[in-house]
Amino acid sequence: MKMVKKMCSLFLLLSIFICPICYAKNLFEVVSIGIVEIADEVFMDKYQCYPLLKVKDQFYLPLSVLEQMGVTIKAIDQIIYIEAPIKKEEISNFSANLFQGKVAYMRQFPIYCNNIRSFALVVDEEVLVPFEALGAMWEIKSYEGTFWFEEKLQDILQLIKIDENGIENKTDHLLPIQCCHVYWNGKTHEILQESILLEGMERKEWLFDKDKLYITTFVTQMGGLEIDKVSKTAYGQCHKPTFLQYSDSIRFDELSKKFPSYKIEAQMKYGVGPFKEKDIVELCRSEKHSYFLIKDKEGKKYQVPYNSIRIIGEKGAALGKVDAADIEEFVRLSKIESATDYLLWTDIYRQRTYVLRKQGEKWKLEKSFVCSTGKNHNPTPGGVYEVQYMIPYIGVEKGYRCKYALVFFRDYMYHSILFDKSGKYIKSGQYELGSKASHGCVRLSEKDSQWLYTHIPVKTTVWIR
C-alpha cells in the first residue's frame, strides 16, 4: 500500500497539462491478472469479519459481500454502480476459500464507487472490487491488519456526478473543477490534468486520448477546495504490478499466435479404451513402430496400438519470420527458466532452434539455427526437458554416424545430419534442414551441432514447441 502511495505521488509530479482531443479506449481486455490469495489482513464491519482477498499484492472485496452489507448495486449496460451506504443488520457467511488459488481476470467493463471509476477483477461469476476504491464511499480506517469503514461526514463530491460519458454539476451554482485523468500506456500510468468550469446543472462530455487505456478520473479540486486524499491513495487505480501483468497478458496472447504450439491431429480407426471410432485426438509421439502416445481433449495421455490411428495433419501453420525481441519476450512471458545460463527452444512450425543466453535477469537470443524435427508419424515430442548428457557420435552400429548428440529425453536428442560410418561424407539430411525429416530427433548442420556440443552445458532447459 505504501508503494502505491509513493508511486501515485510520483505520477502526479510528472503530470502535465494537456487538452484531450479524442475518445479513449475505455473497455478492458479480459486477460489473466494473477492467482487469488487470502490476505492476512481482514475487513470488519459492524457484525462480523471478512477475510480480504489479494491479487498481485492488492486487496479486493467481493461484490457479494458488499451486497450482503446492504449496498445498492446497479448494473447499466454491464457497468456496475455502487452507491448506497451500509444498512443491513444480518450478514450471511462468506467463504474466501472458494476463491483461493483460482485465476483472476480483468473485467471488461468498469465499476463505479460513487464518482470513482474503477477497474475490477472476476473469478468465476464473482466480481472483485479493489478495496481502496471503496474509499470513494467511506472513510477506510485501519489498525494492526484490520480495516473498517466509517461514514464520511462531509463529501463535496456528492455535488457532481461522473459517469462513462462525462461530468455533471448537480447544483445551481458555478463550479470550477480540477480533474486528473489517469491512463495506462502499457508501461506506466500517466496522469493528465484538466480544468473545467461548470455552470449550474451543466454537463460536460469527456474527450480523451484514444491511444491509451483510460482508467479513471479524479477530482482534485472543486470550488476552490482541495481534495488531497485522492493524490495519496489514488483509490487503488495506480497499482503498477496489476497493470504490468495486464499488459503482459495481452502481449502473451499476441505472441502465442505468432508461436503456436505444434499439434498433429489423428483420427481413431477403431475404438480403443475411452476413444471411439472416428474420434479426433492429438498425437504426442510414436514408440518404435509399436504404439502411439495420444492425448484426449483434457490433456490426458494414452497408449494406443500403432495401427489404431490415421494421421490427419498439423493443426496450425507457420506464421512468417519473427525478430529477436519477439523470441526473447515470449520466453519471458512463458516463464521458461533454466538451471544454466543457456536455454534451447525448438520452434517446430518454423523449423528453427533458438539459443538464448541469460544476461542479468533477461534472456537474449544468441543463435538461431535451421533444423529438422520429426516427421508427422515420428514427431519430436513437445514439452520442457533438459540436456541429460552428451555423446560425441551415435549410429555407427546401424551404418551411419550422427555427430555431437545432446540427449534431452529418452532417445530424443539434438545431433548433426547423417554421415557415413567414418564421419567424413554426408549420407543424408543436408538438404532437408528446414523441413520435418527426422525420426523424432532434432537434426542440425555439422557446424551448428558442434557449436551446441561445445557451448551448451548439461542441465540446460530444452523447450520443444
Give the integer Cα–Cα distance in Å for 389 and 381: 18
Bridging pattern class, strands 213-222 and 175-184: antiparallel
Annotated active-site residue in 19, 415, 439, 455: 415
Nearest to 216 by CA among 64, 114, 139: 114
Phi and psi angles of residue 300, each rounded to the nearest 5 degrees, phi first: -80, 140
Please write down the long-range contacts of 361-367, taking CB distance under 8 Å and 24 or more positions apart.
Answer: 362/328, 362/332, 363/328, 363/331, 363/332, 364/324, 364/328, 365/324, 365/327, 365/328, 367/448, 367/451
Quick check: 433 and 372 in contact, CB under 8 A? yes
Residue with cell 502505491: 4
Quick check: 235 and 8 in contact, CB under 8 A? no
Give the integer Cα–Cα distance in Å for 293 and 425: 35
Annotated active-site residue in 8, 377, 441, 455: 441
Sequence-separated (6 or more) residues with CB below 8 Å from residue 399: 421
Looking at this protein, which amino acid is placed at residue 201? M
Nearest to 414 by CA among 383, 376, 375, 374: 374
Question: Which H/E stretch holds residue 105?
Answer: strand 103-106
Annotation marks residue 239 as catalytic = no
Give the integer Cα–Cα distance in Å for 140 and 455: 58
Give the integer Cα–Cα distance in Å for 385 and 408: 6
Annotation marks residue 415 as catalytic = yes
Question: Residue 188: beta bridge partners?
Answer: none
165 CB neighbour count, 10 Å cutoff: 11
C-alpha cell at 32: 489473466
Looking at this protein, which amino acid is placed at residue 78? Q
Nearest to 448 by CA among 348, 321, 351, 362: 351
Sheet holding 342-347, edge to edge: 362-370, 352-359, 342-347, 461-464, 383-386
Could you list the active site residues?
415, 441
